[in-house]
Structures are given as structure tokens and as C-alpha cells.
Amino acid sequence: MPSEVQMFVLFGLNTQVRTLTATAGVCRHCNREAMQRLQQRATRFSLFFIPLFTFRRKYQVNCAYCGSLTEVSRQHKEAMTS
Ligand SMILES: [Zn+2]
């Protein structure tokens, strides 16, 4: 009789958005002066609901007026935070 091994593995990806800085600036989308929030999106890989490592990290600028999201490079993020 063959023995059957059943494995149940729970893994997933979850994304956390964190605001790093907020500066007033002119939005490229709506052309209005509003708070531009620099946000970090970190996607984490978790196993059995325990976050193991950061899978992907991206930066974006969020306009407080129109709510648009613009993806920015790491260099752009460093220029905004320094
Ligand atoms: Zn805007």
C-alpha cells in the first residue's frame, strides 16, 4: 500500500505602503501645487503568515490633490529624502 504524504504549505505576498516624506510640489498630472507624498511599497514574501524577506521594493509619488501615483526610481527617492 503506497503511503501518501500530504504537504500543506501556506505562502503569500503582501505589500505594505509606507510614507517616507511629504513635500509641497507641482503635480505632473493635475499641475496643481499640492503635497506630494513619497511612498515606499515593499512586497514581502511570507510563509505561514511569517514575513521572511522583502521580495520587491518600489518607490512612488502620490499626489494629495488628485491621488495619482507615479513610480519613481531609487535615485529619485534618494534625491527627495536627502
Ligand atoms: Zn495631482
What confidence tens digit (pLDDT) does each residue in 10-49 have?
889 989 999 999 999 999 999 999 999 999 999 999 998 8
Residue 69 CA to ligand 1 center (angstroms) comes to 9
Residue 42 CA to ligand 1 center (angstroms) comes to 23
How many Å apart are CA 18 and CA 46, to the nearest integer?
A: 18
Residue 78 CA to ligand 1 center (angstroms) comes to 21
55 is a domain residue: yes
How many Å apart are CA 25 and CA 62, to the nearest integer?
A: 11
72 is a domain residue: yes
CA of 3: how far to CAs of 6, 7, 8, 28, 32, in Å?
Answer: 10, 13, 16, 62, 67
Torsion angle (degrees, nearest 10) of CA 34, 35, 38, 43: -90
* pTM of this structure: 0.76
Where in the sequence is the domain holding 74, given as residue range(s)?
Answer: 11-81
Residue 39 CA to ligand 1 center (angstroms) comes to 15
Domain count, the chain: 1
4 is a domain residue: no
- Asked whether 37 and 60 are in contact (CB, 8 A), the reply is no
69 is a domain residue: yes
Residues around ligand 1, an ion, CB closer than 5 A: 27, 29-30, 63, 65-66
Taking only the tens place, the pLDDT of each residue in 57-79 is: 999 999 999 999 999 999 999 99
